[in-house]
Amino acid sequence: MQFHLNGFRPGDPLILDAAPGSTHDAATLPAEVDVLIVGSGPAGLTLAAQLAGFDGIRTCIVEQKEGPLQLGQADGIACRTMEMFEAFNFSEKVLKEACWINEVTFWKPDAAQPELIQRHGRVQDTEDGLSEFPHVVLNQARVHDFYLELMRNSPTRLEPHYARRFLSLDVDASAADHPVTVRLERLQGGQVVGVETVRARYVVGCDGARSAVRKAMGLQLVGDSANHAWGVMDVLAVTDFPDIRFKSAVQSLHGNLMVIPREGGYLVRLYVEMDKLAEDERVANRNISLEQLIAAAQRILHPFKLEVKEVPWWSVYEIGQRICDRYDDAAGTGDTPAQTPRVFIAGDACHTHSPKAGQGMNFSMQDTFNLGWKLAAVLKGQAAPGLLNTYSQERQPVAQELIDFDREWAKMFSDRARQGADGLPEGGVDPAEFKRYFEQHGRFTAGMGTHYRPSIICGDAGHQHLARGFVVGTRFHSAPVVRVSDARPVHLGHAGKADGRWRLYAFAGAGGVASAESGLGGLCRYLETAPDSPLRRFTRPGDDLDSVFDLRAIFQQPHQGLDVTSMPTLLFPRKGRLALHDYEKVFSPDPKPGMDVFDLRGIHRESGALVVVRPDQYIAHVLPLEAHAELAAFFNAFMTPV
Amino acid sequence: MQFHLNGFRPGDPLILDAAPGSTHDAATLPAEVDVLIVGSGPAGLTLAAQLAGFDGIRTCIVEQKEGPLQLGQADGIACRTMEMFEAFNFSEKVLKEACWINEVTFWKPDAAQPELIQRHGRVQDTEDGLSEFPHVVLNQARVHDFYLELMRNSPTRLEPHYARRFLSLDVDASAADHPVTVRLERLQGGQVVGVETVRARYVVGCDGARSAVRKAMGLQLVGDSANHAWGVMDVLAVTDFPDIRFKSAVQSLHGNLMVIPREGGYLVRLYVEMDKLAEDERVANRNISLEQLIAAAQRILHPFKLEVKEVPWWSVYEIGQRICDRYDDAAGTGDTPAQTPRVFIAGDACHTHSPKAGQGMNFSMQDTFNLGWKLAAVLKGQAAPGLLNTYSQERQPVAQELIDFDREWAKMFSDRARQGADGLPEGGVDPAEFKRYFEQHGRFTAGMGTHYRPSIICGDAGHQHLARGFVVGTRFHSAPVVRVSDARPVHLGHAGKADGRWRLYAFAGAGGVASAESGLGGLCRYLETAPDSPLRRFTRPGDDLDSVFDLRAIFQQPHQGLDVTSMPTLLFPRKGRLALHDYEKVFSPDPKPGMDVFDLRGIHRESGALVVVRPDQYIAHVLPLEAHAELAAFFNAFMTPV
């Protein structure tokens, strides 16, 4: 954490100085905004939190409910999401409060007495080294709280406007500015007490599976009809089932069940298989009661006892995988949009799936983390509006992959356990196969399955051999390093904050220290002085040198042999009102055995490598340190000179 | 973190339910309290935060200043203090915001050109494995903030009463209750606007080196007269001195200087040697200016440049080590007090030293962490008042040791570097010797030097061979373990919260799982059922089984081979309104190489061991698991049956 750059300021450094005029008026919606976000769920709040950090961008977020969520539906937080929370500066709060998922256990009908269940396997939840963060479980409402606190403390002091229901939107393509007009109902105690109008440059519908924004755009979710009812309940219970604090998948003769331990050490979520539905039957028609849910869970867990003491929340749902074929109003086909978009949807508004893979909340937040920096770049004049087309182009295909995975997973989960020779019944899913499928797809459930295709913001993989562990199109996989200026062990990826900046991680080659002749020295000189340097072209005069491109260098030498004060200007820049040196740009490998980032991520030790990372932490490019023209061409394709 | 025990409750789990009537009335002091704390510095706040957690105890904390501290003097936070912050549940906030001290570098006059300085050594600041926490630096005001937040969120909603100046106290030994009467001036804008009176059971003066409480008790600080002036300044500066982000000790021909990097990545504290004072001269008479301080620092750092841009805080002080010979009003000599005490002093009120060892704030907080649980135990009727005599008996001697260390350290630090054959001048301190002294005393500066002598609350070391790494009288040295119920890697010592409870860490012997025959099984049976069991004698009927003694078991087996549901009642207790099981009592060794707690802490694998840990995290006893009578006798000596 860096602070006091512009002079010492007492108090909490996370409460940033308010930008002029940044007060929240709960009574009135602003007449004109840059971005109007509809819905304050995980997708909406991730976007709002991202945009709240830019004091030049006017954001408004409206929510139909009368106040913040108290009790959430979603709970699983994938490793990838934790990495994003780190970029938003609150990962440590989640780590502290959440339940950590460490192992998963698998149960099936006992071979000798199939009416009983027996444990048939354990697997580590997350493979070693997949992420520096664990897979955790925490009430969605608390995640909202952390975002809301961040927004309140941001320069724009952004807060949601509650009790506003989206009515309609109109896009006037001929308008000079603020082309989208949105009408909203003002609610009070559930009653409509007025209608307000907001004109926006962009509108993002984060309003859930029944999205009114999506309907207004004429888009729809397409996919499987649901055909299987599941119940879910959060319980405080007494049980002798030994794995109640593990994530456990139980297949029994009486149906299937999933145990998800929850935060606080006592609460547990149970997903309980209920009935198969008829072709066009809806779960609502079944009138499934809590008592039925509990009874089903008790049958499945037999011979173990389950005595439910309190049920803070429960629900019954149908499994169904549905998706929208595009996420914006650009029309045209996916890769050849007819225009630049003005209205977007994100999260459950564009894809729904079963909760089994624990992906709903996670994937929704990744949607708007993808969109947020793009909107900011366009609104700040850093990038041409065409950048916005990449949102749907990138997010729709990866959601399709998720849905395919989820369909398979949910099907296995709803199937009964095959018994084979030693038990009954025949058919169904082999428990060993079920366990194997879980293990094989660990990367997916951890949120690491996303791999963007080449585009204007995602380079080809022509130089991938220079950094095999940093795969272009996937998220930047952090690794431990040592900061040269103070020998502090840090995580390299944690340099990547949700601040809309690009990170250029320059791994030094054998040339080593940034001498003028080395690849790294040449890169620094190029970026600092060349007329076609992206840094010179796209950074506003007077702004800090690293305000658009944040260059970091990683050397192969131990930190003791390096001196930050003799580094090139870009690696020891002077910043802020007082022109103070920034000491946090240069790193060495972690000297602990097996922890050298060059080995861990397969960096070419002779040549080094430049890893270009987007503001959403995805790797945009891997280039030779000397590929100055390629680097310039990459950014010239979508950025706007100042 | 455990929560939802008595039913699900939305919101921040660290905001505890308020006890009835727990509102803060800033305008009026309560007429009667259990404990009146004078002064809201680190000592006062540590005590207040501890007591605030007990809803049956009425605490009042008064402060002469008109509001919370904005800018602190102290900044160094020792590893031991971080361990205590973990017990108060805010270590992660400090870790996030603080500057970490990783290495210390040493500079001396250049051998060839003595008017220049050269680096002659680096040492790791904290030896590996000394603590799970690093040594960090953070503004004292922020530490105050964390305590104040904790107090506001505690059941008693405790907040300081500001603008109250202590006037006098009277102890009426014949009073039936609330024998201490304290008079305080109410201030407004520095003017006295009234006098208030508070009657208290106990009063604790945490009012600094010029303590009015100490004076009212007729006690005084005794020690060296100061004879050397030092300046200290927090600066935002531009420099080419390469170690400005390391803790650095610089000895030059122009005097000595210490660099302490500060939080936020830009701020630095410099301790600068100024003049030697005459025998009875005071530093105030020298009128040393900030300009002189800066000039001295520039001379010492030559040939490196130091361009100071902003100085948020600076001061000039004399080094002096002074101490009070007792910390309470019990009179009598140290180990044979004439009575049980009613008035105490803590922190700078009883010991002052140079800031060089970075111990002032740390040691002060440990004073009241020692006192807090004792006051709580007596006020709750758990222990006889004689327990309170152990505060002065324990804390005064360890402060004396600190002062002896500090005197030596400060002397070396104020001395000039010896040059020997290759340079000038002769005499002074050998830089290599200086570095060696620093290394040798690392445990002291980390806060691990405290070793309490045998007393009613500190057993002899007769069974120390059963757990060589848990030395009786020193703080419980945490180690990594795996929680059996959910395979989560945790730190064993983090079970020890600042909640006034005793921890009984039972390390299983070769008997292994808690069968009735094993030492551990026997211990559980004894504690649960024997008439002379401390747990039965001292736990109120109806209270949770672990509300006074929190038994935790550590087995030698991997967690996969253990089942919490088959553990004895005390290791799988039912608690709270809903009688839910507590799943967090049983641990296995961490399977990573070299991380087995039995090896790390030298636990006797055949016999096992019972490690008894006090509410302030110090080890009270090491006993065989079978030593039931000894265990009972230990607690019978100072606890009060319910």
The whole-number pLDDT of residue A225 equals 61
Name the pairing type of β-strands B580-581 and B255-261: unpaired
Contact between B345 and B169 (Cβ < 8 Å): no
The pLDDT tens digits of the residues spanning B146-183 come to: 999 999 999 999 999 999 999 999 999 888 899 999 99
Among the residue ranges A155-159, A439-443, A454-458, the one predicted with the least confidence is A439-443
**For residue A512, what pLDDT is reported?**
62
- Token look-up 């501290």 returns B69
Contact A472, A612 (CB under 8 A): no
Residue B65 to residue B63: CA distance in whole angstroms: 6
- Judge whether A491 is closer than 8 Å to chain B, CB to CB: no
Out of A103, A237, A488, the one facing B487 most closely (by C-beta) is A103
Residue B105 Cα, gap to closest chain A Cα (Å): 10
Tell me: pLDDT of A71 over 90: no
A469 within 8 A of A59, measured Cβ to Cβ: no
Q: How many CA atoms lie within 13 A of B395 on its CB side?
A: 32
At residue B515, the pLDDT reads 62
Q: A interface mutation test: which of B2, B3, B4 has the most A CBs within 10 A?
A: B4
pLDDT of amino acid B286: 78
**B237, B307 Cβ separation under 8 angstroms:** yes
| Averaged pLDDT for residues A529-539 | 97
Report which listed range, A356-360, B60-64, B360-364, is most confident. Answer: B60-64
Instruction: Mark out the alpha helices in B14-133 (DSSP H runs).
Output: 42-52, 79-87, 91-97
Q: What is the distance between the alpha carbons of residues B547 and B537, in angstroms, rounded to a whole number?
A: 13
| Closest CB to B3 among A12, A95, A264 | A264
Residue A111: alpha-carbon gap to chain centroid: 42
Whether the CB-CB separation of A198 and A36 falls below 8 Å is answered with yes
Residue with the two structure tokens 């444990």: A119
Give the mean pLDDT of A256-281: 89
Does the pLDDT of residue A423 top 60, yes or no? Answer: no
Gap between the terminal Cα atoms of chain B: 29
> Is residue B357 predicted with pLDDT exceeding 80?
no
Helix, strand, or coil (residue A286): helix
In chain A, the N- to C-terminal Cα span, in Å, equals: 29
- B425 touches A at CB < 8 Å: no
Considering A309-318, B20-29, B620-629, the range whose residues carry the highest mean pLDDT is: B620-629
pTM: 0.96
The pLDDT, as a whole number, for residue A368 is 98
Contact residues, A window 57-96, toward B, CB-based 8 Å cutoff: 70-71, 92-93, 95-96
CA nearest to A341, candidates A236, A131, A506, A200: A200
Average of pLDDT values for A62-67? 96
Nearest of B339, B315, B351, B68 to residue B206 by alpha carbon? B351
Cβ B49 vs Cβ B151: under 8 Å: yes
For the record, the structure tokens of A501 come out as: 């900046």
Q: Which two tokens stand for residue B193?
A: 């606007």
pLDDT of A333 > 80? The answer is no
| Residue-wise burial string across B347-369, b where 16 or more C-beta atoms lie within 10 A, e elsewhere | bbbbbbbbbbbbbbbbbbbbbbb
Q: For residue A570, what pLDDT is reported?
A: 97
Q: What is residue B562's three-state secondary structure?
A: coil
Q: Is the pLDDT of residue A226 over 80?
A: no
Residue A12 predicted with pLDDT over 70: yes
Cβ contacts (< 8 Å) between B11 and chain A: which residues?
A: 70, 145
**What's the rounded Cα separation, in Å, for the pair B318 and B402?**
18
Which of A411-420, A436-445, B561-570 reaches the highest mean pLDDT? B561-570
Of residues A267, A578, A583, nearest to B265 (C-beta): A583
Q: Which residues of B touch A100 (CB under 8 A)?
A: 486, 488
Q: Give the rounded percent of residues in chain B with a pLDDT score beyond 70.
A: 96
What is the pLDDT confidence band of residue B230, given thresholds at 50, 70 and 90?
Answer: confident
Residue B512: pLDDT band (50, 70, 90) is low
CB contact under 8 A, B8 and A267: yes
User: B147 to chain A: which residues are within 8 Å by CB?
Assistant: none
What is the rounded CA–CA span in Å between residue B541 and residue A130?
Answer: 49
Cβ pair A242:B583 closer than 8 A: no
Rounded to an integer, the average pLDDT of A42-67 is 97
Q: Do A580 and B236 touch (CB under 8 A)?
A: yes
Q: Name residue A193's beta-bridge partners.
A: none
Q: What does pLDDT average to over chain A?
A: 93
Q: Which of residues 110-129 of A touch B (CB under 8 A)?
A: 122
CA dist., res. A364 & res. A346, Å (int): 6
Distance CA A265, CA A594 (A): 34
Share of chain A above pLDDT 90, in %: 79
| B238 interfaces chain A, CB cutoff of 8 Å | yes
State which residue of chain B sits closest to A576, comparing Cα positions: B266
Chain A residue numbers touching B567 (CB-CB < 8 A) = none
Query: What does the alpha-carbon distance between residue B140 and residue B138 come to, in Å, rounded to a whole number?
Result: 6
Contacts with A488 from chain B: Cβ below 8 Å: 100, 102
d(CA B337, CA A455): 81
The span from the CA of B570 to the CA of B551, in Å, is 7
Lowest mean pLDDT among A86-95, A573-582, B514-523, B630-639: B514-523
pLDDT per position as a tens digit, A17-49 = 999 988 889 889 999 999 999 999 999 999 999
The residue whose two tokens read 């201490």 is: B180
DSSP code of residue B41: S
Phi, psi angles (nearest 5°) of residue A534: -55, -40
Residue A325, chain B, CB below 8 Å: the answer is no
Q: Which of B123, B11, B246, B84 is nearest to B616 (CA)?
A: B84
Q: Compute the 3-state secondary structure of chain A and give helix, strand, coil in percent, each to the nearest 5.
A: 30, 25, 45
Interface test with B, best of A15, A124, A147, A486 (most B CBs within 10 A): A486
Q: What is the largest CA-CA distance in chain B?
A: 78
CA separation, residue B58 to residues B36, B160, B184, B478 (Å): 9, 13, 18, 32
What are the tens digits of pLDDT across the range A167-205? 999 999 888 899 999 999 999 998 999 999 999 999 999
Interface of A with B in 16-55 (CB under 8 A): none
pLDDT of B514: 54
Angle between helices A42-52 and A360-379 (to 10 degrees): 30
Contact (Cβ atoms closer than 8 angstroms) between residue B555 and residue B512? yes
**Average pLDDT of chain B, as a whole number:** 93
Q: Which two tokens stand for residue B210?
A: 């010029």
Which residue in this structure is represented by tokens 């045998």? B454
Inter-chain touch A580–B97, beta carbons under 8 Å: no
* Cβ(B326)–Cβ(B343) below 8 Å: no
In the DSSP assignment, the letter for residue A497 is -
* Phi and psi angles of residue B15, each rounded to the nearest 5 degrees, phi first: -90, 100
Torsion of CA B296, B300, B303, B304, to 10 degrees: -80
Cβ–Cβ contacts within 10 Å for residue B308, how many? 19
Per-residue model confidence (pLDDT) at position B225 = 62
Q: Strand (E) positions, B216-267?
A: 222-223, 228-239, 247-252, 255-261
Confidence grade of residue A402 (pLDDT, cut at 50, 70, 90): confident
Average pLDDT score over residue span A458-463 = 95
Beta bridge partners of B239: B306
Of A7, A122, A241, the CB nearest to B560: A122
Of B245, B309, B582, the CB nearest to A578: B309
Cβ A564–B242 below 8 Å, yes or no?
Answer: yes
Least trusted range by pLDDT, from A571-575, B207-211, B353-357, B635-639: B353-357
| A96 to chain B: closest CA residue | B1
Q: Residue B7: which of A13, A236, A263 has the nearest Cβ?
A: A236
Residue type, B160: P
Question: What does the pLDDT average to over B97-115?
Answer: 95
> For position A356, what pLDDT does the model report?
67
pLDDT above 70: percentage of residues in chain A:
96
Q: What is the mean pLDDT of residues A367-389?
A: 97
> Which residues 128-147 of A have a C-beta within 8 angstroms of B?
139, 141-142, 145
- Tell me the DSSP string of A498-553: SSS-EEEEEE--TT-S--TTSHHHHHHHHHHH-TT-HHHHHSPTTS-TTSSEEEEE
Q: How far is CA A120 from CA A111, A123, A431, in A?
A: 10, 10, 8
Which residue of chain B is at minimal alpha-carbon distance from A5? Answer: B266
Compute the distance between CA of residue B434 and CA of residue B437 in angstroms, rounded to an integer: 5
pLDDT higher at A4 or B417: A4
CB within 8 A of B593, min separation 6: which ones?
Answer: none
CA distance A306 to chain B (A): 12
Nearest CB to B103; choose among A236, A312, A487: A487
C-alpha count within 13 angstroms, C-beta hemisphere, residue A391:
34
Residues of chain A positioned with their CB less than 8 A from the CB of B12: 142, 145
Q: For residue range B443-500, what is the model confidence (pLDDT) as tens digits?
A: 888 889 899 999 999 999 999 999 999 999 999 999 999 999 999 999 999 999 999 9
Give A 544-603 residues with CB within 8 A of chain B: 560, 563-565, 574, 578-584
* Cα gap B64→B161, rounded to integer Å: 9
Assign 3-class secondary structure to B605-642.
Answer: CCCCEEEEECCCCEEEEEECCCCHHHHHHHHHCCECCC
Task: Report d(CA B280, CA B283) in Å as an integer.
Answer: 10
Residue B425: pLDDT over 60: no
The span from the CA of A390 to the CA of A375, in Å, is: 11
Give CA torsion, residues A168, A171, A177, A178, to 10 deg.
20
The confidence score (pLDDT) of residue B582 equals: 98
CA torsion through residues B469, B472, B478, B483, sign: positive
The token pair at A104 is: 């998963």
- Residue A174: CA atoms inside 13 Å, Cβ hemisphere, count? 0
Whether the predicted pLDDT of B410 surpasses 90: no
What pLDDT was estimated at residue A147? 98
Question: Which chain B residues contact residue A11 at CB under 8 A?
Answer: 70, 145
Higher per-residue confidence, B420 vs A97: A97
Rounded alpha-carbon distances, angstroms, from residue B433 to A32, B430, B436: 69, 5, 5
Interface touch A584/B10, C-beta < 8 Å: no
